[in-house]
Amino acid sequence: MRDRAVMLAWLLSCAASGIAAHAHAQALGGNSAASSRVTLDDSHLHLTNYVQKGITLRDMLRLMGDSVGRVAVFGIPLQQTWMHSVDGDRAPTYYLQSDAPLYYYSFTDAVIATEYLSLPPRDRARFDPMITGFNPGDMYAADHIRRVLATFPGVFTGIGEFSVHKEFVSPKTQPGPASLTDPALDSVLAAAGEIGLVAIVHNDMDVPFPADTARPAYLDQMKALIRRHPGTTIIWAHTGVGRIVRPVKNHAATLAAMLADPAFANLYFDISWDLVARYVVESPESVRITADLIDRFPDRFVFGTDAVAPANATAYLTTNTLYAPLWAALSPDARQKVRVGNYERLFDAARTKVRAWEAAHVSK
d(CA 226, CA 263): 8
Q: Nearest Cα to 339, choosing from 36, 67, 54, 50?
A: 67
Q: How confident is the model at residue 314 (pLDDT cuts 50, 70, 90)?
A: very high
pLDDT at 306 over 60: yes
Q: How confident is the model at residue 12 (pLDDT cuts 50, 70, 90)?
A: very low
pLDDT for res 85: 97
The average confidence (pLDDT) of the chain is: 91
Residue-wise pLDDT for 65-114, tens only, equals: 999 999 999 999 999 999 999 999 999 999 999 999 999 999 999 999 99
pLDDT for res 166: 96
Please check whether residue 139 is in contact with residue 183, taking contact to mean a CB–CB distance below 8 angstroms.
yes
What percent of the chain clears pLDDT 70, i.e. is strictly above it?
A: 90
Q: How confident is the model at residue 308 (pLDDT cuts 50, 70, 90)?
A: very high
Task: Give the number of other Cβ atoms within 10 Å of residue 76's Cβ.
Answer: 24
Residue-wise pLDDT for 195-218, tens only, equals: 999 999 999 999 999 987 779 999
pLDDT for res 302: 98
pLDDT for res 360: 97
The pTM for the full model equals 0.90
- Calculate mean pLDDT across residues 247-272: 97
d(CA 159, CA 217): 25
Residue 139 pairs with which residues in a beta bridge?
Answer: none
Task: Give the number of other Cβ atoms within 10 Å of residue 351's Cβ.
Answer: 18
How far, in Å, are 9, 301, 332 from residue 15 at the CA level?
10, 20, 10
Q: Which helix (H) or strand (E) holds 118?
A: none
pLDDT for res 211: 84
Query: In the sheet that 301-302 helps form, which strands lie side by side, from edge to edge?
Result: 301-302, 267-270, 234-236, 198-202, 158-163, 127-131, 68-74, 40-46, 307-308
**Cβ contacts of 251 within 8 Å, gap of 6 or more:** 239, 241
d(CA 253, CA 5): 28
pLDDT for res 1: 38
Q: Class of 2-361 per CATH?
A: alpha beta
